[in-house]
Structure 1
Amino acid sequence: MKTPIIALMLSLILAFSSQAKNKTVKADSVEIIKDFNSAFKYQNYYISAQPSLEALRWYKSQGVRKIVNLRTEKENQDFATYAYNEENMASELGLDYHNLPIGGNKDYTPENLEAFAKLLEGKEKLLIHCRSAGRVTNVLMAYLIQYKGYSANEAARVGRKLKFALPFEKMLGKEISLEIND
């Protein structure tokens, strides 16, 4: 009787320790895409600053099927006047295009996070971008915490590999620990 209980306990310990090990390497799997400005890959997400037309074509060649653009309507219109209309180009390339405008603090809401999560449902590769990848990083970190079970520190570790920065951390030469208060 003791042997099956011990075996069960050992298997549970191994299962939990392998899950804990996986959580510690999450941030290490952020890949920097050197060919483009502020471009990264994390899991099935490509995170980027506003992509050039060349970058957009490259993302498609990598299997991206959906674009989630966090830029505001004004930003998109301004960009279209000197570069290209992203929504039209996405359509030409056969990519699903979604715009979830987040332009300032007023737009960082639970409702927008929920809308973002719905756009990320599924296993397909997708491109998420804003102007510089800063907004994307913050929204992705909130998503990882709220919908993927990351702790604030785990999400921040991923974010720091992207565009998340607390300038005073650099001044101190130390990483700040984060926690969520209910």
Structure 2
Amino acid sequence: MNRLPLSGLLLLAITACAPAVMRGDALPALANVARPMPGVVSAGRLLPADIAVLDKAGVRQVIDLTVDSETPDFDERARVKAAGMRYENLPIAGPHDLTRENVARFDRLLRDARRPVVVHCASSNRVGAMAALRAAWIDGQPVERAIAEGRRWGLKGLEPAVRERLAGNDAAAPVNP
């Protein structure tokens, strides 16, 4: 009995079912890039040339937290989809959009994402704010741990707004995603 073809088929089956992994270090060229968890990259604004870099690196999905008016000359959705990646948009314009409903949607998008996934806004600050609120409201983390998690994702200038939301009377009540 020849075992070589069977072992070859087994190897093919294993690699076909394995989760996608980002190739190389192509992503550090992105603005404000961080890898806060396996298979997830947080970043700042994507430029048109970045889409080919993401595709080459093996990224399977982009979650965009910007509003369309931020990049009127760049149809990110069309470019990402044309490259064969999934695209989701959760527009977070500023502190007023840091709501429990948006955090629950952010959590669903992350849980359902095809990995590797890039989550971005203009500077990664909104990404970090959403990650901090998710850590508190979804994962039940205490405020300082949630803030630290947000910083790992890119939280900077929105930290006071995040702290304000976490200091509210309902800060301890978890969101049902």
- Which 5+ residue runs of structure 2 have no aligned equivalent? 1-26, 159-165, 173-177
Partner of 2:105: 115
Q: 1:109/1:37 Cα in 2 relative to 1: closer, same or farther (>3 Å)?
A: same
Query: Are residues 1:62 and 2:48 paired?
Result: no
What's the secondary structure of 1:47's corresponding residue? strand
Runs of 4+ in 1 over 6 A off after TM superposition: none
Partner of 1:155: 146
Q: 1:166/1:127 Cα in 2 relative to 1: closer, same or farther (>3 Å)?
A: closer
Q: Distance in 1 between matches of 2:156 and 2:77?
A: 30
Task: Report matched runs for 1:22-171 at 5 Å.
Answer: 34-43=28-37, 44-76=39-71, 78=72, 81=73, 84-122=74-112, 124-165=115-156
If the length of structure 2 is used for normalisation, what is the TM-score? 0.65
Q: Distance in 1 between matches of 2:151 and 2:144?
A: 10
* Bigger proportion of residues as helix: 1
Q: Distance in 1 between matches of 2:121 and 2:129?
A: 11
If the length of structure 1 is used for normalisation, what is the TM-score? 0.63
Tell me how many residue pairs correspond in the alignment.
136
Q: Distance in 2 between matches of 1:113 and 1:87?
A: 21
Structure number with bigger Rg = 1
Percent identical residues: 22
RMSD: 2.7
- Which 5+ residue runs of structure 1 have no aligned equivalent? 1-32, 168-178
